[in-house]
Amino acid sequence: MFQQSEAFLDIVDEHEYDHPRCLGRMLLARTRDLDQIQLHDLRPAIRAALEHQPLDSEKPGLAQHYCVECARYFESDVALRSHWRTKLHKRRLKRLQEPAYTIEEAERAAGLGRELRTSTVSTAA
């Protein structure tokens, strides 16, 4: 999945960002997954586009105050700046610095969790 998305991003790079209409559609997506933000939104060119969106009356603050890391719109520059100082945003930054989550890792983590639970039960009994 991880290797695939790298190749996919290259295709997207070539074909999508030159077309503002496609970028607009992408921005309409309500929520962004962490790995989408990590692998996509934080690329300098995309980040710049996200931070300089055209005026949009349907978005909070006309889409002029966007936190790329959290994929959230704010009403004003003051609101965005105070958001940057929140725990929520700082935690998000930390998580985005970690490598993108893969299915393999998730499965390994789930397996480990089960093993630990079983051994606890058998020790108690």
**Which tokens is 66 given?**
């966007």
The set of residues, in sequence order, having a beta carbon less than 8 Å from that of 38 and lying 6+ positions away, is 96, 100
Under rule CB under 5 A, residue 89 binds Zn ion: yes
- What does the chain come to in residues? 125
Which window, 7-15, 51-59, 62-70, 116-124, contacts Zn ion (CB under 5 A)? 62-70
Under rule CB under 5 A, residue 50 binds Zn ion: no
- Report the residue number, 13 or 35, with the smaller CB distance to Zn ion: 35
Which window, 2-10, 25-33, 84-92, 98-106, contacts Zn ion (CB under 5 A)? 84-92
Name the nearest CA neighbour of 12 among 50, 31, 40, 48.
40
Task: Choose, by CB under 5 A, the member of 26, 63, 70, 71 that binds Zn ion.
Answer: 70
